[in-house]
Amino acid sequence: MSILLAALLGYLFGAIPFGLIIGRLTRGIDIRQYGSHRTGATNALRTLGTRAAVAVFVLDVAKGVAAVLVARTLFSGDPLVEWAAAVAGFAAIVGHNWSVFIGFTGGRGVATSSGALAAMSVWAILILAPIVVLVIWRTRYVSVGSISGALAAPVITAALAAAGAATVPAIGYALASGLLVMAAHGDNIARLRAGTERKVGQKEQVSPGG
């Protein structure tokens, strides 16, 4: 029962569409009508600007953190508490990508998955974040950094677990979330192969008032 409740809790946290909300508040637009048609920070950067994108990123990260921490608190006496926390974190990504509040649309889950990973294993995210930033800086593709992070997360978490610095549920979370984030980038992978993927700094033209 704790696992099921954790999944529902995590999904509802993740389903809060901060990108859409901030787009409405700052520019009066639905950012799903522009760019990648996603609600995440990358599309917010292209359509709303840096400040709004930072706000979207921080809030999306917070969804993942909150899902894990709240689940861990609510089910603290349960022997499966860490698995419940992992499920809540994974469900938050599902909620972010397919939000019930906006017709099961959303983002790609990168920021939310990062927040949940930070709550599951802070060392994993501290090691992973510089790698992702370096890949983005070198390639100028956010998608390449995100995909690299998704691939590296379970490897890093497993290595930390072997050293006693992470848990088995954290490995399970990192693997499941990495696969989900990879799947969400299917169209990006196709554009990278075709040479049409947009780089960091390319803006989306948005007419006044949307």
pLDDT tens-digit profile, the chain (210 residues): 789 999 999 999 999 999 999 999 999 999 999 988 999 999 999 999 999 999 999 999 999 999 999 999 999 988 999 999 999 999 999 999 999 999 999 999 999 999 999 999 999 999 999 999 999 999 999 999 999 999 999 999 999 999 999 999 999 999 999 999 999 999 999 999 999 998 887 666 676 554
d(CA 108, CA 32): 12
d(CA 84, CA 69): 10
pLDDT for 21 equals 97
pLDDT for 209 equals 52
Would you kindly state where each structural domain of the chain is located, as residue ranges? 2-194
Instruction: Say how many Å lie between the first and final Cα of the chain, rounded.
Output: 44
d(CA 35, CA 44): 9
CA distances from 10 to 53, 94, 131, 187, 208 (A): 23, 9, 27, 26, 36
d(CA 75, CA 12): 17
- Quick one: which H or E segment has residue 178? helix 168-184
d(CA 124, CA 69): 16
d(CA 133, CA 202): 18
pLDDT for 180 equals 97
Contact (CB, 8 A) for 13 and 67: yes
d(CA 180, CA 81): 22
d(CA 69, CA 119): 7
Closest residue by Cα to residue 84 from 92, 75, 93: 75
CA atoms within 13 A on the CB side of 29: 23
Contact (CB, 8 A) for 64 and 89: yes
